[in-house]
Amino acid sequence: MGSPELARTLADLSREIRREVSVLIDRRGRILSVSVADAKAAELPAIRAGENRLAGYHLLHAHPKGGPLSKGDLSALFLNRLDAVSAIDAKDEGRPGPVYTAHLTPPGTVGEEEDWRILPPVPIFQIDDFDLGAQVSALEEEIARAARTRESKKDRERALLVQVDQGEFDAEERLEELGELARTAGAEVVYKELIFRRNLKAGTLVGAGKLEELTSRAYHLDADLLIFGQELGAAQAREIEAATGLKIIDRTQLILDIFALHAQGVESRLQVELAQLRYMKPRLLGAGAQLSRIGGGGGSAAGGAIGTRGPGETKLELDRRRINDRLSFLEKQLESGSLRREERRKSRERNDIPVVSIVGYTNAGKSTLLNAFTHAAEAPRRVLAANKLFATLRPTSRQGFIEGIGPVIFTDTVGFIRDLPKDLTRAFKATLEEIGDADVLLHVVDAASPGADTRLNAVNRILEDLGFVEMPTVVALNKADAAAPETLEREIERTEGVPVSALKNIGLIELKEALADAIGQVQRQEMAQREEAREVAAQYR
């Protein structure tokens, strides 16, 4: 705790210069630093405490204006995991006033103070009566015991979610979607918060005070992961990580991680690795502690923590030249895949079989609808259909039959999502361009989910960016059996869609009739164009 002589010296010096003076003391009683600053600005070693122990330092400082421990003192105690923080009331001349001391409490402690316990003030001559060493040992033992108990029960990373609302009408929906993404990645969401800020803070988005609240929340909920709904720059992620001590993930990195988790085929894995390397390349220099957490093992076989799947630590630690070499290699590999797809498309064109591309928001039921159309109840024809985001990454084609048209190729595509990361769009561009080779688009909309209209618009924006928005399109309002009747009626009127339930085979006959009409119209247009071309050729002859 320090000696009465040291406390008097600090009080006299602080009163004389009218500034707070702080000393940092280690567990052997040695003074490591002296700072003319308050507790938050005091000079501390750049050492991060372990998860189950404290920092090993006691901060003793004097308040020239008197008074007990301030909020800044307690924040410094908590954020730096100090053994204790003490403030000397140095307001009066002569003998200094009482000494106020606080130390941390283990997670889950019930009391008036959530993160710390403030001890009764003592006279300055009794400052060394308190056995701080015994208190710290008991506290660390309790923290370690609680951590072992939690670890035995915890099989997933526990995450806090933050979505910053800058006035968007769908901010709450974006927060819910962020929760779905986190759960799909394998996290247990223990807390979600929508923070309204008209103007974002340059360094931390939400400000130091809010980060302290989130750190405290993570401490008590035993969370080790903080996920932001906004994309973070390398400097922002580094600053937030330094302020909270938590692992920081943004929405883009979370989506990339899900793609790495679900990638099955060789080409899908190459595309995901390409996207991840493009995302990580500008963040390689000075990206903070997060890079040291990246573990190897890509694709669906990768275990480990969220944000660690994909190319692996060795690739992320390469210099920019070697990263560029790897990117060039991946791009060449994907180009060869594009050539193979081109040959398959030419084969289908020679067979003159109509192609229907199934597009839609992720988890709208596209794969389930494909299985229903092609009667694929069992493997190998059955396509994976799961109630999670981005369950299918590899485009899959199956042959079905439509009355009045004959054989039809149905192609299931990668699910879309609002604000799709640009690196993913670039990586999957060749795959997405297959949509343009279809005769008709089948746009699947989850009619039972809130915000169906905004998700439909998000898909249309991506199709517009790819140049496919003018293609003949049939809208399928999937999960109609679970949708509210008034919502379903409104969507039918707005989109002229066909209500169906792919899971229960409801409305599929009507949907096939709508597809037959659209395909028939396309075929008649093509026939008219060929006839016109023949007439023009005959005139030249």
Annotate 187-207 with DSSP letters as a single string.
-EEEEEEEEE-SS-BTTTBS-
Q: What is the separation, in whole angstroms, between the first and last Cα of the chain?
A: 105
Per-residue confidence (pLDDT) for residue 292, from 0 to 100: 42
**Residue 441: closest CA among 465, 416, 410:** 410
**Residue 23: closest CA among 144, 116, 163, 127:** 127
The tokens describing 345, both together, are 């498309």
The tokens describing 29, both together, are 């009683």
The Cα 244–Cα 240 span in angstroms is: 6
Per-residue confidence (pLDDT) for residue 161, from 0 to 100: 95
pTM comes to 0.71
Per-residue confidence (pLDDT) for residue 474, from 0 to 100: 94
Q: Name 215's Cβ contacts closer than 8 Å, sequence gap at least 6.
A: 78, 79, 243, 244, 245, 246
In the chain, % helix, strand, coil (3-state, to 5) comes to: 45, 20, 35
E strand or H helix that includes residue 256: helix 251-262
Dihedral sign of CA atoms 310, 311, 312, 316 in order? negative
289 alpha carbon, distance to own chain's centre: 17
- pLDDT tens across the length of the chain (541 residues): 678 888 888 888 888 888 888 999 888 888 888 888 887 778 877 655 445 678 888 899 888 888 888 888 888 888 888 888 999 988 777 678 889 998 888 765 554 456 788 888 988 888 877 777 887 888 788 777 766 666 655 667 889 999 999 888 888 889 998 998 998 888 999 999 999 988 888 888 888 888 888 988 887 787 889 999 988 888 888 889 888 888 899 998 888 888 888 776 677 788 888 888 888 777 765 444 444 444 444 444 445 567 666 655 444 455 667 777 888 888 888 777 666 666 666 665 556 788 899 988 888 888 888 888 887 655 545 555 556 666 665 667 888 899 988 999 898 877 888 887 777 777 666 667 667 778 899 999 999 887 888 888 888 888 888 788 888 999 999 999 988 899 899 999 988 999 999 888 899 999 999 999 999 998 888 888 878 888 888 887 6
Whether 230 contacts 164, CB under 8 Å: yes
Per-residue confidence (pLDDT) for residue 438, from 0 to 100: 86
